[in-house]
Structure 1
Amino acid sequence: MATIVFFSIPAQGHTNPTLGVVRELTARGHRVIYDSFEGFREKIEAAGAEFVGCERFAPTMGLTRQAGARVGSDLALSTRVLVDTILALDEPVCREMEKLRPDCIVGDSMAVWAKTVAQRRSIPYVCSMTTFAFNRESAKIMPHSLKETLGMLLSMGRVNREIQRLRAAGYPVKSVLELIGCDETVPTVVYTSPMFQPAAQTFPARFAFVGPSIRPVETPVEKTRKTLIYISMGTVNNHMLPLYRACIQAFRDTPYQVILSVGDCAETLKRGNLPENVFVQSAVDQIGVLEKTDIFLTHCGMNSASEGLYFGVPLVMLPQTSEQKGVAKRVLQLGAGVLLKGTWPGEIRRVVRQVLEDPRYRKNAEKVGESFRACGGAAAAADWIERQIAGKEMQCSQ
């Protein structure tokens, strides 16, 4: 039995893909310790890991809701939060790993402190990549509007000051790209397939494309009509009342069953006149819904898009950030969905009908789903982690 330590940043999209791997490793008899943040304790412990809280060292969870929503789209803020967390966790994590002496560290690609402590202590390290793997070739999939480009240019002064703080603390970081990009010299688990990953052939063999790690259904959903439309804009930037109201109006008096997962907007929407075919919830078992879904209207976050495609569900996409636009672009290239370019009821209804009436979207989504399942998922990721541990043991015995 090995002791394996996971590190992640406080984000659903970076934590959720790892939980299936945790379940698999603990089922194999390994001890898994997961350093994360209090909001993730319940699901981490449910996966079988021992939870270690980081709040007492890192200020990241002290962000306001408004600031938290900007992380991911505001480069300067994202860099500051990441640097604050790296510097706060550096010393306590080093002490913890010195006592624990784990057999392997699995660190999120943005949890830079995990790789640093692994290198300092000569502990086998595996990078956990929950987005597309990123290099010069795959970066071409990530489009930036003129506004976004100008915003990044204007923020570079603040970004560079944060990078200087890391250098002063002994981190040999040259640019922000080293924080958000891939280190192609370390073993890496990527939770997608070579088919879905842009420029997959340009990454070295130490990158294991294992596909999404899909958890079991917790709450089955009853499909009451021939066609089920699922609408969710994720868990972060999801306060979008005008969109939800337009969707309700679009599908009023239609033969479709419609499920909306809308976070804090649920109570407001429920006070309105909801049609009998429309169901509004603050949260749902997304896996349970998607396995019955015919169309998924989504913000196109990497996890949500992957979960939909895993079940062969074509996507109607309304991306909000550069990363989401990159995922949407890849879905378009593979013919597995369409962009929603307007958010008035008539346009929403038209685009959904377009996808329903053209079987090619479903067929292409199913092809992507097949490529995901062929990669092995959580079991393949666990195999890859065990292989790194075995390699270290072989070196020590020689």
Structure 2
Amino acid sequence: MAIIAFFCLPAYGHTNPTLEVVRELTKRNHQVVYFSFSPFQQRIEEAGARFINCDAELPMDKAGAMAANSDVGGSIKLLTDTTLALDKKICETLQALRPDCIVADSMAVWGKFAALKLGIPLISSTTTFAFNRYSAKIMKQSFGQLFSLIRSMPQIRRQIRRLREHGYPVKNLLSILQNDDQTCTIVYTSREFQPYAETFSERIQFVGPSLRQISTKAADVRTAVYISLGTVNNQHPDFFQNCVEALRDYPGEVIMAVGTENQAAALEAPAHFTIRPQVDQLEVLQKAALFLTHGGMNSVNEGLYAEVPLILYPQTAEQGGVARRVVQLNAGILLDENSPAAIRRAVNQVLANPVLKENAAAISRSFRQAGGAVRAAQLIEGWIQEKKN
């Protein structure tokens, strides 16, 4: 039996893919200890892990800001503040626990840095695309974003100095953000979906989405339109109202997950609309003919796994990169503007093009063949054994 410590960013899109891996590891009689935050406690404990609450060191208003922050300098400061706030608790707990390895989300750098500081074997858990100088091309940073990064460099250097002063061996910005080819890494997508997969070493393993099993089978005839902007950047009442206007005369069901009770209550829609703050996305996708999504990696994975073609309306640079990859593989289209006419046009375009669904199904096959949570657990066991030998 191994002792395995998990660390994750306080966001559902980062936490959810790890839960089935935790479930598989505990099924194999390994002890899993999961450092996280109270909104995720029930799910983590249901997966079989021991939950360690980090709320006192990172209040959830800051956690939400971390998940939503698109400014690199601001993000690095938040990550540094979190690492230093958690430093004493994490180091003392890990020294008492003596885990065989740490599995840390690629953005939960406090777990990664603790592994390096304490000499504990590290496994990176990457819920986005694996990132290096080649795959970064798909992000297509605008001039404004590049200027913002350059302007942030003095602040980033200050944060790196703070980390070094506390014993964390941080080299530079890339050592925080990039997938190190020498670090054992699990990426929750397939080689076929990962941009520039051939540029990564064998240490970077693509296992496909790690999804919970559901009992609902895919409908023989799918007619529903499903719309969601995820769990973070979803405060867009004008967008949801435009969706209602665009699909007011749609002949099938329209299901919208709009994020909050207030946003749901504010929308007046015909009877063929189902509008909720949240829905069981995996279940809904089994009857969806298309999915209008913000392009978050978790949502895109779930949509394509269900063989559903996508309309993509990205809200961040990372989501823009995911959206461009879907379009490259011709499994979806970009929404060119937020208006009823554009939304209606995009829906009609997807429904009229069976090739998009065929390509979504091809990506789904690559996901299923990658191995999912079982493969991830096998890799973790193998890497632990490799370190012991």
* TM-score, length of structure 1 as denominator length: 0.92
Q: State the match for 2:195 in structure 1.
A: 198
Task: Give the alignment partner of residue 232 of structure 2, picking from 229, 236, 244.
Answer: 236
Q: Distance in 1 between matches of 2:90 and 2:267?
A: 50
RMSD (Å), alpha carbons: 2.0
- Offset at residue 225 of structure 1 (A): 8.1
Give the structure 2 partner of residue 248 of structure 1.
244
Conserved in 2, the CA contact under 8 Å of 1:224 and 1:257?
A: no
CA distance in 1, matches of 2:61, 2:78: 10
The within-5 A match list for 1:1-398 is 1-56=1-56, 58-59=57-58, 61-63=60-62, 67-68=65-66, 70-71=68-69, 73-217=70-214, 226-264=222-260, 266-393=261-388, 395=389
Query: Structure 1 residues 40-49 or 329-338, which shifts more?
Result: 40-49
| Partner-residue secondary structure (3-state), 2:6 | strand
SS in 1 for 2:288: coil
Aligned in 2, Cα 1:268/1:202: closer, same or farther, shift over 3 Å?
A: closer
One-letter identity of the residue aligned with 1:77: G
Alpha-carbon distance between aligned partners in 2 of 1:376 and 1:294, rounded to the nearest angstrom: 26
SS of match in other structure, 1:106? strand
TM-superposed deviation, 1:272 = 4.5
Shift of 1:171: 2.4
Q: 1:114: how far off?
A: 2.4
| Separation of aligned partners in 2, 1:80 and 1:21 | 30
Question: Secondary structure at the residue paired with 1:294?
Answer: strand
CA 163–116 in structure 1, closer or farther in 2 if over 3 Å, else same: closer
Say if 1:225 and 1:257, in contact at 8 Å, map to a contact too.
Answer: no
Question: What amino acid does structure 1 have at the position aligned with 2:50?
Answer: E
SS state of the match for residue 326, structure 1?
helix
Rounded to whole Å, the distance in 1 between the matches of 2:2 and 2:36 is 20
1:220-278 deviation per Cα after TM superposition (whole angstroms, max 9, x unaligned)? 599798511100001111011011011011111221211000012x4444354321111
Letter in 1 for 2:237: L
SS in 1 for 2:226: strand
How many Å separate the matches in 2 of 1:18 and 1:70? Answer: 20
Q: CA deviation at 1:376?
A: 0.4
Residues 76-122 of structure 1 show CA distances to partners (whole Å, capped at 9, x for unaligned) of: 22111100111122232222111111222111112333234334544
**How far 1:293 moved relative to its partner?**
1.2
The answer for unaligned runs of 5 or more in structure 2 is none
Shift of 1:195: 0.4
Q: Counterpart of 1:319 in 2: which secondary structure? A: coil
Q: Relative to structure 1, is the Cα distance of residues 64 and 51 closer, same or farther in structure 2, using a 3 angstrom cutoff? A: closer
Q: Is the contact between residue 216 and residue 287 of structure 1 (CA under 8 Å) also seen in structure 2?
A: no
- Give distance in 1, aligned partners of 2:146 and 2:112: 30
Unaligned 5+ residue runs, structure 1? none
Cα displacement string for residues 125-182 of structure 1 (whole angstroms, at most 9, x for unaligned residues): 2111111111111111111122222222222222222222112223232322221111
**Matches of 2:115 and 2:11 in 1, distance apart?**
22
Call closer, same or farther: CA 1:170–1:142 in 2, change over 3 Å.
same
Instruction: Give the aligned residue type for 2:224.
Output: L
2:99 alignment partner AA: P
Cα separation, partners in 2 of 1:6 and 1:226, compared to 1, 3 Å:
closer
